[in-house]
Structure 1
Amino acid sequence: MEGRGFFRPPGVSLWCPVWHKSPIRFEGGALVMTTRRLQRLIPLTLLLFLFPLLSALPAHAQTKTLYWERMDVDITILPDGSFLVEETQVIVFTSGTFTYGYRSIPTDRLTAVTDVAVWEDGQPCRWTTDEEDGEFQIRWDLLEPRQDSRHTYTLRYLVHGGLRYYDGGDQLWWKAVFPDRSFPVNGSTVTVHLPEGATAELAQAYFTEATVSGIGTSTVVFTAQESIDPGQEFEVRVQFPHGVVAGSPAAWQRVEDSKPIVNLLMGLLGGLLLVGGPAMLLLLWYVRGRDPYVEIPTDYLTEPPSDAPPAVAGTLVDEKADMQDVLATIIDLARRGYLEIEESPIRGLFVSSYDCIFRRTDKPDDDLLPYEKYLLRRLVGRRSGRRMSSLRNRFYTAIPKIQERLYNEVVRRGYFRTRPDRVRKAYTGTGTAILFVVFPASFCLMSALSQYTSTAICPMIGLGATAVTLIVIGRFMPTKTRKGAEEAARWRAFKRYLEQIEQYTDLQEATDQFEKYLPYAIAFGLDRTWTRKFSRIETTPVPAWYIPVPVPVGGRYSTSGGRGSGLSSPSPPPSLDGMSRGLGTSLDAMSRGLGKMLDAAGSTLASRPSSSG
């Protein structure tokens, strides 16, 4: 028997001799084996020698088998409320040698087990008892090692506090055949004797098909109608009139009887948190998280609705100061004359990598906003210019401060009462803190309430769902003022114009808008489509602040753009068509060049050392 009750084979020991010999030397040859080397080889040799034996041990242990020819249980309920259990186990040992057995009785539904006795074939055995981990264990030594034989083992013990007391009738529940076995029980009969004056009102068997006889009498017999497989149990229940035996409900019964109510309450609380928590948060968003409703008389605007810089407009529309706003500010500063951007790839032996130089012009920065001044200073420093590649793994430290100044700017302009990032952090931080508490609290609560309820995890699941909803909904909780909502509606109308400009105007006549609105297109995430649309128009002027890689044109080098064109007489701004012919590429060369520059700038400026997370 194993688990709740089983027999163990005797221990197996291995004896290995250790011998010592003289050093082995092969003089005049390649091999020299000293004593130290020999000592190193001895453990390896022993391991190789023992490996087949050790490998065979599991297979040897697996050959220990038995089966229960019968497991009959006789239960006598005594007038004081205790009951005497006598188990008769007829065991056939089919292979291997067994020296002892044991029986484990769960103590979660009784108060004590006493008066233990064990016999083998009618002869008393030496036995010991122990109680740990919620189980009362009886261990006995066989009279002698057993193998390939049939024997009868009788266990007798007295159970205290194992009955259930109800006004409608007292009850006996008992697992006569325990489930924790590795071998089958071919037959089983359970007999329950009631005290004098009591008759069985109800009798049922569970988990094993069985016949029941004796209802209405003082003796009830349960007979299994099938072989009881390993892991299968045979539990019986007998109810008889209340008051026949002495006693009152034990503490475990009060806990057991309260479990359905506690389970219901825990389930209801979990469901309330699971559904009600997110619902309340959605209501909170509906009341406090929505922007004021505004209407504007048009679906699109053909020009910026206010003097807000691109980064401020982008932050207002999506409520986030992100890398798009940083890049839009760089291009806007260049367009307004504070910067020039010159392509300057780093050429290698076989390949070249994209790079550019940010050059500071002489234009004073007195009229710049705080975030623009800070970005310009961190971009070029105190020098007149700086390579973009030199900002790799360095510029990232400036991004949080740029974002902070941008958020301060949208609050200063009256678009928000509170900085959007702080609102999001408040909700996200609260939800994350709840999750950090919920996970360990779940295990503690389940452990503390395991004997009272099996649904202690339900409130924690509901609370966890509420915390996740809090994190998600926090992204939408920043609220604009009425001024901010009206301004955002106008900027969205302008964004719609940039996104679908070809539907509202003739691109041939709007080429001057390419450079003018390029920073806004970047802030709104439309830079690729914006440059692609105008790259098809031959008359689109190249931005004067953008200096591409010089290429030979008619024996001379030309940049086809930038302020320093090298021309002594006034001339119209270069066009994308002229630039593309100078580069010897297609009309969308400018689009690809700007796109490459924006992509490289975005990844370079946001890059950070691996140690920075």
Structure 2
Amino acid sequence: MNPVEALFRVIFIGAMLLLFTGGGVGLLVLWYMRGRDPRVGIVAEFLPNPPDDLPPGAAGTLLDEHADHHDVVATLLGLARHGAVDIVQIVPDARGQKRPHRHPPDDYELTLRDPTRCESALEAELLRIIFGPRPVSDQSVRLSEIRPAFAAAESDVRELLYDELVERGYFVRSPEITRLRWRRVAWVGLVLSILTGVVLAFVLDPYALLPTVAAAVMWGAMIPLSRALPRKTPAGAEAAAKWRAFRRYLAEIERYENVAQSRELFERYLSYAVAFALAREWVGIFAAAGAAQPPWYRQLDGGDVLIPGDVGGLGDIGDVIAMGRAFELAGHLGRDTPDLPGIGVPDVGSFDPQAVTDTLGGSLQGVSDGFGGLLDAAGSVFDAIDFDVS
């Protein structure tokens, strides 16, 4: 080995060590300067109410800086709570099936009640995806049927979630754009480092591949680091701190509230619990406490028949009646008659509204499995948004 070769090898080894140490420090400095959120003042340990009017889906995106299916499912449940959509669980009838021991999967029917009850651009867009470009009242669609439409529009939904945060001044630009920019820088640096190292190895010495490896590792490390580089504005950091305090309240609701005496909180904050990935715990806690199922959610057993219209002048509770429960309902409405009210029976007798509510509405505990199935089914329909390359 001549002195020139020895010198080159010392230089290349030194360059490798320098790149490993300096590159690692550089990545930390990059995150500290460009990705770390601004410091905020003291925020309460927990907040019992949402800190602002940010839609649930956007609140979930603010906290983890990624749009995912939890945020879309939360938006759907927000539409239901606002009175725009009703949801009916359809339990398939296993009778007559070749393999009755194999229970077919449940489906869920979404019915549009009032397309004007949207509180954000994201909600309006989700209605158009589900029910078509011009949604009208009383349209119905099965949840299992909307996957193709959502897959075609998922980039628009993701953009709307990020736009909501940018418009409120919580980010200077979309977190998705920031991640993509840094990821592109990392890929360009990785490719150039490899090409340069290969050329130097052929022209000078194979030891030139040592700093090439170090540079490739550093550029490669920047690719996952890019996910942490979106930086909130001071207003965004403060809002996120408050939303985390509200999330803590939901996550530890049994610590802060007597759940048995606060069962109305279930529906009020359900969409936020979904957005914060707390849905299973939230449903389980309130089901055990005997909370009522949401008024916009019903379960229809296999073999039951829909009875349209306003049954017996009861308004909404007459819209959907399981035929297998019809005589039970009639017993609560008119004790002396087996007939359904409003169907050839002029006198409904003694009316027991609580019994009617129990028969038609039911408790959350009775449908908690089906409600959990709704969250799973909706998540699987909207999971195309999770495959975000940024």
TM-score under structure 2 normalisation?
Answer: 0.79
1:604 alignment counterpart: 381
Q: What does the per-residue CA deviation read over 1:463-503, in whole Å, with 9 as the maximum and x for residues that have no partner?
A: 11221221122111111111111111111000000000101
**Does structure 1 residue 422 correspond to structure 2 residue 188?**
no
Q: 1:387 to 1:433 in 2, by over 3 A?
A: same
Residue 459 (str. 1) matches residue 242 (str. 2): no
Aligned with 1:281 (options 11, 16, 27): 27
The aligned counterpart of 2:6 is: 260
Letter in 2 for 1:388: L
Q: Distance in 2 between matches of 1:607 and 1:313?
A: 20
For residue 111 of structure 2, give the secondary structure of its aligned residue in structure 1.
strand
- Matched residues in 2 for 1:513 and 1:405: separation? 28
Q: Is the 1:345–1:354 Cα contact (8 Å) retained in structure 2?
A: yes
Which has the larger displacement, 494-503 or 419-428?
419-428
User: Is residue 374 from structure 1 mapped to residue 125 from structure 2 by the alignment?
Assistant: yes
Counterpart code for 1:548? Q
- Superposition map of 1:276-425 within 5 A: 276-347=22-93, 349=97, 350=100, 351-365=103-117, 368-381=119-132, 382=135, 384-425=139-180
Alpha-carbon distance in 2 for matches of 1:275, 1:472: 19
Whole-angstrom distance in 2 between the partners of 1:358 and 1:530: 22
Report the Cα distance in structure 1 between the residues aligned to 2:224 and 2:209, rounded to whole angstroms: 23
**Residues 3-58 of structure 1: per-residue CA shift (max 9 Å, x gap):** xxxxxxxxxxxxxxxxxxxxxxxxxxxxxxxxxxxxxxxxxxxxxxxxxxxxxxxx
Post-superposition CA distance 1:255-286 (Å, at most 9, x none): x3211110111111122222212211211211
Compute the displacement of 1:427 (Å).
Answer: 1.2
Q: Report the Cα distance in structure 2 between the residues aligned to 1:484 and 1:287, rounded to whole angstroms.
A: 17
Q: Secondary structure at the match of 2:116?
A: coil
Cα distance in 2 for partners of 1:440, 1:294 equals 44
Identity %: 34
Of 381-390 and 412-421, more deviation after overlay is shown by: 381-390
Higher normalized contact order (CA 8 Å, seq sep 6+, divided by chain length): 2
Specify the SS of the correspondent of 1:352.
coil
Aligned to 2:362: 579
The structural deviation recorded for 1:557 is: 7.4
1:592 to 352, 364, 369: 369
| 2:78/2:271 contact within 8 Å kept | yes
| Higher strand fraction (1 or 2) | 1
- Per-residue CA shift, 1:373-394, capped at 9, x if unaligned? 1111101224611111112344
Q: Could you say if the C-alpha distance between residues 414 and 260 of structure 1 is closer, same or farther in structure 2, counting changes exceeding 3 Å? A: same
Aligned partners of 1:394 and 1:605 also within 8 Å:
no
Contact 1:541 1:574 in 2 (8 A): no
Match of 2:281 in 1: 529
The structure 2 residue matched to 1:493, chosen from 225, 229, 245, is: 245
Aligned to 1:480: 232
CA 1:426–1:347: 2 relative to 1, 3 Å: farther
Alignment partners' CA distance in 2, 1:274 and 1:458: 11
CA offsets 1:421-480 (integer angstroms, 9 cap, x no match): 11111112221233334445444432333xxx3411112112112212211221111111
For 1:376, the aligned partner's letter is L
CA distance in 2 between partners of 1:571 and 1:429 (Å): 63
Equivalent residue for 2:298, pick from 543, 547, 552: 547
SS of equivalent residue, structure 1 residue 548: strand
Quote the Cα distance in structure 1 between the aligned partners of 2:92 and 2:258: 39
Please give the per-residue CA displacement for 1:202-239, whole angstroms capped at 9, x wherever unaligned.
Answer: xxxxxxxxxxxxxxxxxxxxxxxxxxxxxxxxxxxxxx
RMSD value, Cα? 2.7
Aligned residue type for 1:510:
S
| Structure whose residues are more often helix by fraction | 2
Worse overlay, 588-597 or 323-332: 588-597
State the partner residue of 1:158: none
Match of 1:448 among 203, 206, 216: 203
Distance 1:269 1:575, change over 3 A: farther
After superposition, the Cα gap between the structure-2 partners of 1:575 and 1:294, relative to the gap in structure 1 and judged at 3 Å, is farther
Give deviations 1:487-535, integer Å, cap 9, x for gaps.
1111100000000010111001110000000000000000000000000
Alignment of 1:78-89 (within 5 A): none
TM-score (norm 1): 0.51
Distance change in 2, residues 1:425/1:347 (3 Å): farther
Change (3 A) 1:574 1:590: same
Q: 2:186 aligns with which of 411, 426, 431?
A: 431
Q: Contact 1:274–1:461 (CA<8 Å) still a contact in 2?
A: no
